[in-house]
Amino acid sequence: MFDVLEVRLGDRTVGAITALGGDRSIFTFDDGYAEDSQRPTLSLSFKSQTGGLIREHNSTQTRLLPFFSNLLPEGRLRAYLAERAGVKTSREFFLLWALGADLPGSVWVGSADGEKPPPGAGGAEEAVGQASKTSRAFRFSLAGVQLKFSALAAPKKGLTISVHGDGGDWIVKLPSAQYAGVSENEFSMMSLARAVGIDVPEIKLLSLDDIEGLPTDVGRLDGGVFAIKRFDRLETGERIHMEDFAQVFGLYPEDKYEKASYRSIAGVIWRETGEAGLVEFVRRLVFNALIGNADMHLKNWSLLYRDGVNATLAPAYDFVATQAYIPDDKAALKVVRSKRWADLSRDELVAMSRKAGLPEELVLRTAAETVAAFREVWSNQRIGLPLDQAATDVVETQLKIVPLAQI
Ligand SMILES: Nc1ncnc2c1ncn2[C@@H]1O[C@H](COP(=O)(O)OP(=O)(O)OP(=O)(O)O)[C@@H](O)[C@H]1O
Ligand SMILES: [Mg+2]
């Protein structure tokens, strides 16, 4: 008997992941889905050059295909959720099985008969039986490294985390023990981004006391909580599909700083979403240069499928002036030739436009407008934001050293 996980998009079956033994598994599309010309989009990485569906996929060992691997958390969050589920972090088939009921976007993965993975089935011997005995398992997944939960608006002003962590339409990012003030930093940067005209979801800066149902095993916490409304969930509970650019390019999460560039992201956005998406992309690129964000990697950009089929650029998330913590003048990815924000010049944008076939004039005009809007917002609207000196200094430095900011 092989374990088979059904993969659904909304209420529609799109395929299955079958365990082949020896820790191998294989993903196959469902015939009905593959043959439907009106099918909803699972991922652009499954789209062939002629627009058809790429149906043949190799089996993988321990890991899943990049598309599925990217639905799982990384780092500390992954270790935390895997431990509670009684699954070994590296065995992705079992981890996805445990967390598959509430995944990013509208993907659902689970056993067709509702069976849960057997405790310890993922090879976490020390955890055998623990999850089922104590009902400590969470049944949700979010990407990224930082500890975070999906939460619902509470009757008063705060947010509530459900017993299994599922069903929420907000994301709550807990304060970081490593980087003091990161929630305040993110809240400030996202507020500035909105003032500049960038598409930013509703956000809140809360205290730990405002969060009901916070698990007690997350360690000692100190500082503010950053909360952001989910764009892949409606208040009705309906799910909107999304994918990040590691998924779009079929790359594993650990390649999120490599193997692609802002130029390649821009090319996809332009082809798939047209002018509206491209203008928004350029605003965000310039904005992140000006705030000294060295972490705009492939998983911090996503596409949203509002109608289920066609891509739009998802709203902004994870804007942090990271240089306040890690002095590093590099961007997460190359624009075209350089990874340094100090090389982000008009000339670099011209090169990006030519190589990716973008309308050069629109790119340059949008960049200049964003710089002007940013300078205005930075002078007049930063008062009142919970910005510390380190973050303020980073922005002041970027305004001096980013060549584009000099126009
Ligand atoms: N408002 C939102 N709506 C829906 N999904 C979101 C939203 N904000 C973030 N996400 C998803 O959650 C993931 C994690 O969020 P975020 O990038 O803010 O966390 P992080 O742990 O700081 O990430 P990183 O590992 O890049 O530091 C994102 O990669 C994205 O898939
Ligand atoms: Mg992120």
Pocket perturbation via mutation, ligand 1, pick of 317, 319, 325 by most ligand atoms within 8 A of CB: 317
Q: How many helical (H) and strand (E) elements, i.e. helices and strands, does the chain have?
A: 11, 14
Q: What is the mean pLDDT of residues 307-327?
A: 97
The answer on pLDDT for 405 being more than 60 is: yes
Structure tokens at 161: 């985390």
Q: Which residue has the least CA distance to atom 2 on ligand 1?
A: 230
| pLDDT tens for each residue of 159-183 | 999 999 999 999 999 999 899 999 9
Rounded Cα gap, residues 350 and 336, in angstroms: 10
The answer on pLDDT for 245 being more than 80 is: yes
Q: Which residue has the least CA distance to atom 8 on ligand 1?
A: 317
pLDDT value, residue 135: 62
Atom nearest to 228 CA in ligand 1: 1
The answer on pLDDT for 126 being more than 70 is: no
- Ligand 1 mean position to 169 CA, how many Å? 13
Residue 294 Cβ contacting ligand 1 at under 6 Å: no
Catalytic site residue 166?
A: no
Q: Is 123 left (phi over 0), alpha (psi -120 to 50) or beta?
A: left
pLDDT band for 122, please (50, 70, 90 cuts).
Answer: low
The answer on pLDDT for 197 being more than 80 is: yes
Q: Name the nearest CA neighbour of 16 among 142, 98, 112.
A: 112
| pLDDT tens for each residue of 39-77 | 999 999 999 999 999 999 999 999 999 999 999 999 999
pLDDT value, residue 260: 96
Ligand nearest the Cα atom of residue 244: 1
pLDDT value, residue 127: 47
* Catalytic member of 169, 295, 318, 343: 295
Pocket perturbation via mutation, ligand 1, pick of 69, 142, 320 by most ligand atoms within 8 A of CB: 142
Residue 146 Cβ contacting ligand 1 at under 6 Å: yes
Q: Which residue has the least CA distance to atom 3 on ligand 1?
A: 230
Task: Report DSSP letters for 91-132, one per residue.
Answer: -HHHHHHHHTTS-STTEEEE-TT-PPPPTTTTS-GGGTTHHH
pTM: 0.96
Q: Which residue has the least CA distance to atom 15 on ligand 1?
A: 144
Q: Which residue has the least CA distance to atom 4 on ligand 1?
A: 230
Residue 102 Cβ contacting ligand 1 at under 6 Å: no
